[in-house]
């Protein structure tokens, strides 16, 4: 895999008249993972969207080397298409292959996405991310809706991605069982 890097420099985020956080800085290289921690509403999802280029920072900037892929509460799958077709669409867009990890979706490929359970949708979103070929994974609450088995499988996929030199940034309220996981608490960056 190509080298990758994600760096944040003095990031601040404002929502309306409210400054959510300020002074967020870090640098990640291939094989590293960062856990974004903090209570609901502190700005973890906003920070992920800043990393992905979907939201402009109020202050500071982000630099990255390598493609980014975001998995959040919006699975980015056409809800009217069968799951297999919805995943195939993204494989064509990303010019990527099948996901390396097993997310247990084989029996669901002919089911329209709108009929999938919360956990099944989350697994489908993770499969889309894993097949994207992106070097930097941005995972917003990746374990929500997953049972113990699939939560462990998702974390194993993250570890496998890191072992191949990828980066993972994870915003989660769920406990994570990842090796050498750095934590950035947004409580330490309140205005």
Q: How many domains does the chain have?
A: 1
Task: Supply the CATH number for residue 148's domain.
Answer: 3.40.50.300
**Residue 47 confidence class, pLDDT cut points 50, 70, 90:** very high
* pTM, full prediction: 0.92
Task: State which residues form the domain around 164.
Answer: 5-189
pLDDT at 167: 98
Is 41's pLDDT higher than 80? Answer: yes
Residue 8 CA to its chain's centroid (Å): 16
pLDDT at 90: 84
- Hunting for tokens 């697994």 — which residue is that? 123
Q: Would you list the DSSP string of 17-32? A: TEEEEEEEEEEEETT-
pLDDT tens per residue, range 129-179: 998 999 999 999 999 999 999 999 999 999 999 999 999 999 999 999 999
Question: Average model confidence (pLDDT) for the chain?
Answer: 93
């Amino acid at each position: 895999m190509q080298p990758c890097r994600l760096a944040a420099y003095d990031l601040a985020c404002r929502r309306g008249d409210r400054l959510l956080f300020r002074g967020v800085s870090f640098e990640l290289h291939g094989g590293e993972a960062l856990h974004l921690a903090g209570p609901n509403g502190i700005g973890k999802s906003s920070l992920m969207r800043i990393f992905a280029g979907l939201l402009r920072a109020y202050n500071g900037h982000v630099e990255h080397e390598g493609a980014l892929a975001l998995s959040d509460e919006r699975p980015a799958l056409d809800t009217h298409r069968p799951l297999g077709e919805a995943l195939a669409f993204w494989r064509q867009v990303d010019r990527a292959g099948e996901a390396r990890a097993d997310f247990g979706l084989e029996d669901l490929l002919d089911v329209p996405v709108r009929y999938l359970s919360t956990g099944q949708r989350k697994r489908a979103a993770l499969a889309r991310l894993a097949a994207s070929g992106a070097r930097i994974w941005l995972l917003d609450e990746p374990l929500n809706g997953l049972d113990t088995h699939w939560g462990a499988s998702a974390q194993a996929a993250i570890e496998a991605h890191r072992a191949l030199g990828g980066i993972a940034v994870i915003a989660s309220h769920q406990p994570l069982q990842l090796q050498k996981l750095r934590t950035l608490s947004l409580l330490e960056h309140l205005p």
